[in-house]
Structure 1
Amino acid sequence: MGSISLKNLSITATDPLFRDLSLVVADGDRVGLVAGNGLGKTSLLRVIAGLAEPTAGEVVRSRGLRIGYVEQDVPAALLPLTLRDAVLDALPVADRETDAWRADVALDGLDTPYELRDRLVSALSGGWQRLMLIARVWVTDPDALLMDEPTNHLDLSKLFRLETWLSREARNIPVIVASHDRDFLDAVTNRTLFLRPGTSRYLPLSYSAARKEIEREDASQEAQNERDHKEATKLRKQAAKLTNIGINSGSDLLVGKAKQLKDRAAKIEEAARPAHRERSGEIKLSNRGTHAKLLVGIENVPVTTPSGQGLFKIDKLHIFQGDRLVLLGKNGAGKSQLVKLIHRAMVEPDSVPGIKVTPSLVLGYTDQDMSQLPVRETPESFISVTFKQPDARVRSLLATTGFVIEKQSRPIGQLTFGQRARLGLLALRLTEPNFYLMDEPTNHVDIPGREALESEILAHEATAVLVSHDRSFVRNVGTRYLEISGKRLKEVDGPEPFFEEMMLETEQV
């Protein structure tokens, strides 16, 4: 039996991330760790793993408990190794020769194709690099598992593969997983910890059910705060009236009564528990509009790999104002290549035969890695120069997006990927496009940010072509769905059959 006990645990960075956190995670508990970017998830996981110290409180682990911690980033030292050797590298040097078979067992558990095992880590996709990090931890035979954003860079096939693996391989040990993927949390967790600067909440429910419960509690607390505020205001008004009467009449009794009323009001205000407010920066979009009905026309266009190998051909595709096209397809089917082709046709008019773009189209573009951001510039200089904004306006925009003053002047390359994602989305807003071309826009964006992005796309009735592996995002924003299958592009009624097909393929591996 293994367990991890948190006792009055607190962590403070510039501000408190959380405080007085107490809970026990035991065998079979699979905890979803939920908070906005930069609000303590990684800090908590590192403290539990023994890699950092808390500001206050303690972590008590079962005697001899071996904790496996899957971090977000691939260590540079692993990049020259093969996938198999990178997993083997997690074992003690003395055991690597005799226990080499354990690396293959760990890779087998994740259904890793044999042809990938001798490929260099540097040549692997981001998704396989993530699964490699998981295999590295699993080969050490941990008694508890901590996972920090394991779904980043995973396509649907690997997402389902990871969900199956967690349910099969790690079902009997304590698991804590930080993720912004709502469907993934629902699939793999049975408890949810909402990490908050005030009072964190730990519920014995998977994410969606826990979210409904905590929203009900927050609404109830908000209503109670409103009642308390009204009661305290009423008491203070009564006290002021009694004070005036008491002073004018020379009545010490009335003055004393007024003091009692003010004391009651102060106690009510002191006891009030502030309702939770998400601290993630806001995400907003814009839509300058256009009178054109047909924005993009595509006819007889082949889509190829960068080396020229054919992927599929588009016979005819028209994108009208208000369409939100979601591209579906397996990894490598050509979704990103199609996005790049459309992007080139938009920034270099008439450069792609067969793709016609209306002259009034104004493009807003973002790719998976936010590569459009100049990593050597600062957020402050980037927004100021690119969008010709005055300094005060730049500082205000960045602050509302979630950038504290010291991060506004830090090189973009030194920001977290979550911060880069928010900066990229701010740049999209300031571009004031009427067409959004977005390849994995939810990468590294937290749950409040994903929901805000969905709301903004819907509110502005944005025309868009989208690629995303976030199932909730795909369901919520799409109006048309195009699936790449068997080297053909076909329009389908919705995403669910594709999701089910991907899940079945994973189960049959």
Structure 2
Amino acid sequence: MAIMKIRGIQKSFNEKQVIQKAEFDIKQDSRIGLVGSNGSGKTTLANIINGEIPADNGTIEMFNGTVKIGYLKQSTEQSVHEYEDAYTLAENGLFHHSSQLGLTKEADLFNEDWNNLSGGEKLKLSLARVWASRPELLILDEPTNHLDLQGVEWLIEELKAFKGAIVIISHDRYFLDKIVTEIIEIEDGITRSFTGNYSAYRLEKERLYQVQLHQYELQQKHKQQIHQQMANLKNWSDKAHRDSTKQGSASERRQIGYKEYHRVKAKKMDNQIKSKMKRLNQELEKNEIKQPKEESRVRFEFQETRKRGKRIIEAASLSKCFGQRCLFDESHFYMNHGEKMGLIGQNGSGKTTMMKILLGQEKASSGDVWLSESLKIGYLSQDVTDLPAEKTAIEYTGLTDREAIGRARTIFANIGLNEEKLTVPIGQLSLGERTRVKLVMMLLEELDLLILDEPTNHLDLASRESLEKTLLDFVGSILVVSHDVYFLEKISEKLLVIENGKITRKEFGMREYNEANTRKNRDKEKAEQMMVLQNEINAIIGRLSYMTKDEPGYNELDQKLAELYRKKRELA
């Protein structure tokens, strides 16, 4: 049953039409992924559905006239105190939800200084607030941004158990694959519905593209054939017109109707040309197949890195504490030139602090970190609000040489920022567009090590996939923090893992790490099941030891014991 029917929604800002025609239903149990490139209108549509901004045209019909909506926005700049009274939220289970996300009431919920919380902690509190409001429809705009892997897995399980409808705006392919059963794509301001998760949507999009491309090519060949026939007729017609005006020889002039014959012939051919053109135009008007729009291929390019020594980073007995709280202690690890490493750990484990130590922005409490003297580092932070809002992207590069500016403009175009975007202040760009500006600044330099903090945040799906390919081709070193499971699995060859107060180097990537964790969890679950079975077996054996075979209930207990032994053998 549809709880919301969205019909003919249109929205423009100034003279730019962002949404041309949005139409789809949200059912009681919908699991919808809302996808599209940066700036395609996803967040605008979410704000219209939530009633925050009006549509220019179109209607939204709600079941029983109203639907309670819980809306998690992409930005989490406001404190939980400014949304609702914290004690009211507590009654609705906010403490339970926040604790599931790894937050505590004392440390986080009533923290007077919201600015002291990390992006992940702010997002988790906002998630808990939305959850506690008991919505019928959840709208989540990039809900996995800043969540660690544990938080993402928790959110997946909670959303699977949620009884209402869900609309998710996300560029996290792993997350979409696990949750959604329908994709609503916004392209050129028009929505289009696909059944299945994100991977199924990508396959169907590629199939439709190939089908349309084949049909378009067939129609183009047909048009070429018709045009060639018309060109031939035109040549013959021109010749007939010329022949109809010729004076001819004396004998030809004596032939009655010479000119008339060629005049009629020319007219007949002219009519054939007009008829073929008319039929072609009618056919195209009725069944014209447009050339399929090829997805924008975002191209990232890095300057060739200079040769470096093998080892570029080495840490010995590294510790970092804030007062009595130690993030990591007595840690030893290293990084070689050309290695692509993922830095993973739960929120608050010290990933950002570790990156700051490498960048020289933070000092270790004890121990040493050695960096190669000639090492040139590029750092991409997850905060896109630190760019100068009043400057344009070109001004921000600081380039003055014409050739260098030309190269920068080419990279901006390749990364999906057209000339129009380069002439407006950065403050008017979307979060994804600002991330791209930051990336361009790195692309303009010769770098040996890229330290990337959530590099896929705010990037659309096409940009994420393109960035993966480019980073795989990058011959320098990469240290990346990301919640994007697919991205980390593609990029990481080695890992630095922060857990139990230690940083350890792993000689395998994210895929192997996840597989090992899955096996570990299965073994743990198996051991727990085995313990439960053994306890039941011991209990029954104890009861049978006090009974004789002819006592009532003996056979029933004996059969139950045999069944438990069978289950134990299967589990083993």
- Report if TM-score (shorter chain) is over 0.5: yes
Cα distance in structure 1, aligned partners of 2:39 and 2:279: 39
Q: Which residue of 2 aligns with 1:157?
A: 150
Note if 1:380 corresponds to 2:373.
no
Note if 1:109 corresponds to 2:97.
yes
Q: Which residue of 2 aligns with 1:491?
A: 506
Provide the TM-score with structure 2 as the length reference.
0.76
Counterpart of 1:482 in structure 2: which amino acid? L
Report deviation, 1:155.
1.7
Match of 2:466 among 452, 457, 462: 452
SS state of the match for residue 495, structure 2?
A: strand
Change in Cα spacing, 1:113 to 1:386, as seen in structure 2 (3 Å) is farther
Cα distance in structure 1, aligned partners of 2:226 and 2:462: 38
Note if 1:331 corresponds to 2:347.
yes
Report deviation, 1:35.
0.7
Cα distance in structure 2, aligned partners of 1:276 and 1:303: 53
Answer with 177-186 or 451-460: which moved more. Answer: 451-460
Note if 1:195 corresponds to 2:196.
no
Cα distance in structure 2, aligned partners of 1:75 and 1:198: 28
Counterparts of residues 300-379 of structure 1 (less than 5 Å): 300-305=316-321, 309=326, 311-320=328-337, 322-344=338-360, 353-357=368-372, 359=374, 361-370=375-384, 373-379=387-393
Change in Cα spacing, 1:310 to 1:331, as seen in structure 2 (3 Å) is closer
Match of 2:272 among 238, 257, 265: 257
Change in Cα spacing, 1:504 to 1:128, as seen in structure 2 (3 Å) is farther
Answer with 248-257 or 156-165: which moved more. Answer: 248-257
Gapped regions of structure 2 (runs ≥ 5): 241-264, 526-572
Report deviation, 1:9.
2.9
Q: Which residue of 2 aligns with 1:41?
A: 42
Note if 1:231 corresponds to 2:247.
no
Report deviation, 1:42.
0.7
Q: Which residue of 2 aligns with 1:291?
A: 307
Q: Which residue of 1 aligns with 2:199?
A: 208
Q: Which residue of 2 aligns with 1:3?
A: 3
Q: Is the 8 A contact 2:3 2:28 kept in 1?
A: yes
Counterpart of 2:220 in structure 1: which amino acid? H
Change in Cα spacing, 1:404 to 1:103, as seen in structure 2 (3 Å) is farther
C-alpha RMSD over aligned residues: 3.3
Report deviation, 1:278.
3.8
Counterpart of 1:493 in structure 2: which amino acid? F
Q: Which residue of 1 aligns with 2:561?
A: none
Q: Is the 8 A contact 1:283 1:425 kept in 2?
A: no
Report deviation, 1:355.
0.8
After superposition, the C-alpha distances for 1:307-366 in whole angstroms (9 at most, x for unaligned) are: 69461344341412x311111222222222222222239x99xxx95414152x433221
Q: Is the 8 A contact 2:471 2:491 kept in 1?
A: yes
Cα distance in structure 2, aligned partners of 1:331 and 1:235: 65
SS state of the match for residue 195, structure 1?
A: strand
Report deviation, 1:439.
1.8
Cα distance in structure 2, aligned partners of 1:257 and 1:133: 71
Cα distance in structure 2, aligned partners of 1:466 and 1:385: 28
Cα distance in structure 2, aligned partners of 1:429 and 1:101: 46
SS state of the match for residue 235, structure 2?
A: helix
Report deviation, 1:391.
5.4
SS state of the match for residue 58, structure 2?
A: strand
Report deviation, 1:228.
1.8
Report deviation, 1:465.
1.4
Note if 1:275 corresponds to 2:292.
yes
Report deviation, 1:265.
4.1
Report deviation, 1:375.
4.5
Note if 1:173 corresponds to 2:175.
no
Q: Is the 8 A contact 1:9 1:21 kept in 2?
A: yes
Q: Which residue of 2 aligns with 1:479?
A: 493
Cα distance in structure 1, aligned partners of 2:398 and 2:321: 37
Change in Cα spacing, 1:386 to 1:484, as seen in structure 2 (3 Å) is farther
Percent identical residues: 26
Counterpart of 2:129 in structure 1: which amino acid? R
Report deviation, 1:467.
1.4
SS state of the match for residue 19, structure 1?
A: strand
Counterparts of residues 16-31 of structure 1 (less than 5 Å): 16-31=17-32
Report deviation, 1:405.
4.5
Report deviation, 1:176.
0.9
Q: Which residue of 2 aligns with 1:419?
A: 433
Report deviation, 1:104.
4.5
Answer with 381-390 or 129-138: which moved more. Answer: 381-390
Counterparts of residues 86-165 of structure 1 (less than 5 Å): 86=82, 88-89=84-85, 100=88, 103-110=91-98, 111=100, 112-115=103-106, 116-120=108-112, 121-165=114-158
Answer with 270-279 or 201-210: which moved more. Answer: 270-279
Counterpart of 1:19 in structure 2: which amino acid? Q
Runs of 4+ in 1 over 6 A off after TM superposition: 502-505
After superposition, the C-alpha distances for 1:203-236 in whole angstroms (9 at most, x for unaligned) are: 1211111221122111221222222222222222
Answer with 241-250 or 263-272: which moved more. Answer: 263-272
Q: Which residue of 2 aligns with 1:93?
A: none
Counterpart of 1:52 in structure 2: which amino acid? I
Cα distance in structure 2, aligned partners of 1:75 and 1:382: 25
Cα distance in structure 2, aligned partners of 1:504 and 1:190: 27
Counterpart of 1:495 in structure 2: which amino acid? M
Q: Which residue of 2 aligns with 1:56?
A: 57
SS state of the match for residue 111, structure 2?
A: coil
Q: Which residue of 1 aligns with 2:68?
A: 66
Report deviation, 1:49.
1.8
Change in Cα spacing, 1:313 to 1:411, as seen in structure 2 (3 Å) is farther
Q: How many residues align?
A: 484
Counterpart of 2:74 in structure 1: which amino acid? Q
Counterpart of 1:232 in structure 2: which amino acid? K
Change in Cα spacing, 1:60 to 1:463, as seen in structure 2 (3 Å) is same
Change in Cα spacing, 1:161 to 1:54, as seen in structure 2 (3 Å) is same
Provide the TM-score with structure 1 as the length reference.
0.84
Cα distance in structure 2, aligned partners of 1:371 and 1:344: 21
Report deviation, 1:388.
7.4
Report deviation, 1:269.
5.1
Answer with 425-434 or 243-252: which moved more. Answer: 243-252
Report deviation, 1:371.
7.2
Cα distance in structure 2, aligned partners of 1:396 and 1:325: 29
Report deviation, 1:173.
1.8
Gapped regions of structure 1 (runs ≥ 5): 90-95
Change in Cα spacing, 1:106 to 1:259, as seen in structure 2 (3 Å) is farther
Counterparts of residues 369-408 of structure 1 (less than 5 Å): 369-370=383-384, 373-385=387-399, 394-405=408-419, 407-408=421-422
SS state of the match for residue 88, structure 1?
A: coil
Cα distance in structure 2, aligned partners of 1:231 and 1:65: 52
Cα distance in structure 2, aligned partners of 1:56 and 1:274: 29
Counterpart of 1:439 in structure 2: which amino acid? D
